[in-house]
Amino acid sequence: VFILAIESSCDDTAAAVLCNDQVLSNVVANQLVHTQYGGVVPELASRAHQLNIVPVVDAALQKAGIHKEQLSAIAFTQGPGLMGSLLVGSSFAKSLALALQIPLLAVNHMHAHILAHFIAEEGFKKPTFPFLALTISGGHTQIVRVDSYFDLTILGQTTDDAVGEAFDKSAKILGLPYPGGPLVDKYAQLGNPKAYKFTKPKVPGLDFSFSGLKTAILYFIQKQKLLDPNFVTENRNDICASIQHTIIAILMDKLKLAVTETGIKQIAIGGGVSANSGIRKAVKEAEIKYGWQTFVPKFEYTTDNAAMIGIVGYQKYLLEKFETASVVSKARIQF
Ligand code: ATP
Ligand code: FE
């Protein structure tokens, strides 16, 4: 089975070709236009997708060595995401599926961040059902119970900001460019995680909250700058390490609670923030510390990519979960 997958939910245009659960190509075109605005500008994102989609799909087919006539089906991101961005991918996928007379597969982006663990990759084992997924990304923070490929239950999620936003907004407060998450990670590796203490929010159950932490960081930095205008530049590494340490502690506390409540000890992390070196390390350490079995995705399947859309597409293809061209894109969507 050859699946062409297209992802265009936010600011990256991505296409991949899969042969069953193997990735033959995985192409991502990042949109650099947003950097100067300090965040994603939806109208610009949608226009950039229109420019990128044909060359990105062509590149994915070429790298895979597959002619479009060989494709079995086309998978695309139905949501959640920016409507203008989603529509570019869905319109393209619908037209191509219609022209080639092959099935169309609609994929939930958050479902894909989780099932990315089922891509066949040397040196990576796949989780078995049931397992717990911690999905941490730019727009979401969720703990999901996964009982089968298509039986997913959200056990907890953020009540305000996503963890990716916590990283990006903290970075902004420190004067770092967008998206700041990877930079906080980089500087954190050089700093002392115990240099500054930030209070963890008290949120009941398996839900999360990150907006209070962001405000606490803002006030702390403002106060320190009054005392010493060079505070941030002189202590950047320690500040980043302390922020990251707090965020990781919040995530690990909730994971521990989720394991206690469900009795499930298989943990798979996913989404853009699962690229974070500190989180990857903390999750791996939990194997020995708590006896969990943990799954950390290959780096290229953490931030947005089309290979993860393709693996969900492949599972849907096997069950013939096809869509007609009347399927609609959704900015918000549940599993
Ligand atoms: P969603 O998946 O919720 O729709 P999205 O697709 O925009 O959101 P992703 O691409 O999955 O988000 O993740 C992007 C987020 O991951 C950004 O907030 C970015 O700062 C963060 N991120 C990426 N790498 C790292 C890192 N090494 N450390 C911390 N955060 C990171
Ligand atoms: Fe994402």
Q: Is the CB of 7 under 6 A from ligand 1?
A: no
Q: Return the amino acid letter for 310.
A: G
Burial class of 74 by CB neighbour count within 10 A (0 to 12, 13 to 18, 19+): buried
Residues 249, 255, 259, 260, CA torsion sign: positive
Residue with CA at minimum distance from ligand 1 atom 3: 139
Here the ipTM equals: 0.99
Note the pLDDT of residue 100.
98
CB 313 within 8 A of CB 75: yes
Q: Is the CB of 275 under 6 A from ligand 1?
A: yes
Ligand 1 geometric centre to CA of 187 (Å): 17
Note the pLDDT of residue 33.
86
Note the pLDDT of residue 101.
98
Note the pLDDT of residue 152.
98
Q: What is the pTM of this model?
A: 0.97
Cα–Cα distances in Å, from 263 out to 145, 255, 291? 11, 11, 12
For 308, the 3-state DSSP assignment is helix
What is the rounded distance in angstroms from the CA atom of residue 63 to the CA atom of residue 79? 27
Ligand 2 geometric centre to CA of 295 (Å): 18
Q: Is the CB of 276 under 6 A from ligand 1?
A: yes
Note the pLDDT of residue 271.
98
Query: E strand or H helix at 316, and its extent?
Result: helix 307-318
Q: Is the CB of 274 under 6 A from ligand 1?
A: no
What are 247's two structure tokens? Answer: 């965020």
Which residues of the chain are modeled with pLDDT < 50?
none
Q: Is 276 annotated as a binding residue?
A: yes
Q: How many helices (H) and strands (E) does the chain have?
A: 9, 10
Residue with CA at minimum distance from ligand 1 atom 15: 138
Note the pLDDT of residue 31.
87
Out of 11, 107, 167, 281, give the residue to mutate to test ligand 1, the one with the largest number of ligand atoms within 8 Å of its CB. 167
What is the rounded distance in angstroms from the CA atom of residue 204 to the CA atom of residue 208? 8
Note the pLDDT of residue 328.
98
What is the rounded distance in angstroms from the CA atom of residue 316 to the CA atom of residue 232? 49
- Closest atom of ligand 1 to 180 CA is 20
Q: Is 21 annotated as a binding residue?
A: no
Query: ω into residue 179 within 30 of 0, thus cis?
Result: yes
Dihedral-angle region of residue 81 (phi above 0 means left; psi in -120 to 50 means alpha; beta otherwise): left
What are 267's two structure tokens? Answer: 């943990």
What are 68's two structure tokens? Answer: 């479009």
Q: Is the CB of 270 under 6 A from ligand 1?
A: no
Q: Is 113 annotated as a binding residue?
A: yes
Q: Is 168 annotated as a binding residue?
A: yes
For 143, the 3-state DSSP assignment is strand
For residue 309, what are the contacts with CB-CB under 8 A and spacing of at least 6?
A: 5, 6, 7, 14, 16, 75, 76, 77, 107, 109, 112
Work out the angle at residue 309's Cα, subtended by the Cα atoms of residues 162 and 125, and round it to the nearest 5 degrees.
Answer: 85
Work out the mean pLDDT of the chain and round it to a whole number. Answer: 97
Radius of gyration of the chain (CA): 20
Note the pLDDT of residue 38.
86
Q: If you search the block for the tokens 């096809």, which residue do you land on? A: 322
Q: Is 109 annotated as a binding residue?
A: yes
Burial class of 332 by CB neighbour count within 10 A (0 to 12, 13 to 18, 19+): exposed
